[in-house]
Amino acid sequence: SSSGSRYTPNGGSRDCRAAVADSIFSACQADDVLITAGGQVALQTVAFALLEATSSFVRGYETPRSHAVVFTPSYQSCQEAPLHAGAAVRKVRLTRANGWDIDLTDLEIACRADTKLILINQPWNPAGTLVSREKLEGIVEIARRHNAWILADEIYRFLEHDAATRLPAIADIYERGVSIGALSKPFGAGGASLGWIACRDAEARQAFKDAMYFGTACPARASELQALMVLRARDVLLERNLGIIRRNLEIVERFLGENSDLFSYVKPTAGCVLWVEFKGPLTSTELGAALAEAGISMKPS
């Protein structure tokens, strides 16, 4: 029952799943969506469901642990979730010289015949950059050749500074695509602690539900009700939050431009973060001490 005094179904109540499908996706329907207790849980759930942690013998044949490809630098969980699930992981390095873009040749080299998962984070945290639609399609083609899943952390989707650059959800365009997201970043509703997994493969969705059963099996109905309200106000919230991002980015870029001898960066095109390189003369420890003295906190990566 979806009554507020009873457990919600494993994977979320239908009204909440339908609201997410209608607001976030184009091809995915309510039955393709699972509700989770935030985006972090969604990421971990998919990794544990799709990846094998250890080698095993079945009828005399060895089944090796799964192989996954991730990108670095990146949001820590996007690099660590497959490792936490016990998979063998190959990291593909992104570089500032390439505008933090994904190099398809590097990705192809990193993939093996048995690669099971490619994990991407677009828009990209921490630089706020976004690959092109053509590049995303190239990633899909590589995954398809390897029969690999693509797990896409789309937490900053809908915060593109130009809506024309918005990428489709991977679950909408790839048969083995898994999209995860949450209310926190685009809608500013982190307190609701509600995220989602979208995938059009029924067998995979069942595996996700099975994995969730031993973690947060049932999302809170109070969170689902908050999600319904947030998604009804979707457009108003997005306009507000994008306005804040644009104003703050203008302030930051003005400061960085006035101090270009000390800082450099790649202009962000999505989300609310950017990667700033400090060129000196202080060491990172000295810079941190100076910022702390000025009342500004600095979090190490």
pLDDT at residue 1, rounded to an integer: 44
CA distances from 236 to 196, 226, 232, 271 (A): 21, 15, 9, 17
Task: With cut-offs at 50, 70 and 90, classify the pLDDT of residue 280.
Answer: confident
| Cα 68 to Cα 201: distance, rounded to the nearest angstrom | 19
pLDDT digits (tens, 9 = 90+) for 212-259: 887 787 899 999 999 999 999 999 999 999 999 999 999 999 999 999
pLDDT at residue 140, rounded to an integer: 98
- Is the pLDDT at 7 greater than 50? The verdict is yes
Task: With cut-offs at 50, 70 and 90, classify the pLDDT of residue 63.
Answer: low
Question: Is residue 24 within a helix (H) or strand (E), and if so which, with residue range?
Answer: helix 14-24
User: Could you tell me whether strands 115-121 and 149-153 are parallel, antiparallel, or unpaired per DSSP bridges?
Assistant: parallel
Contact 185, 159 (CB under 8 A): yes
Beta-carbon count within 10 A of 291 CB: 13
- Work out the percent of the chain whose per-residue pLDDT is above 70: 93
Residue 301 is classified by DSSP as -
Both tokens assigned to 2: 């979806």
By residue count, the chain amounts to 301
Both tokens assigned to 28: 């995915």
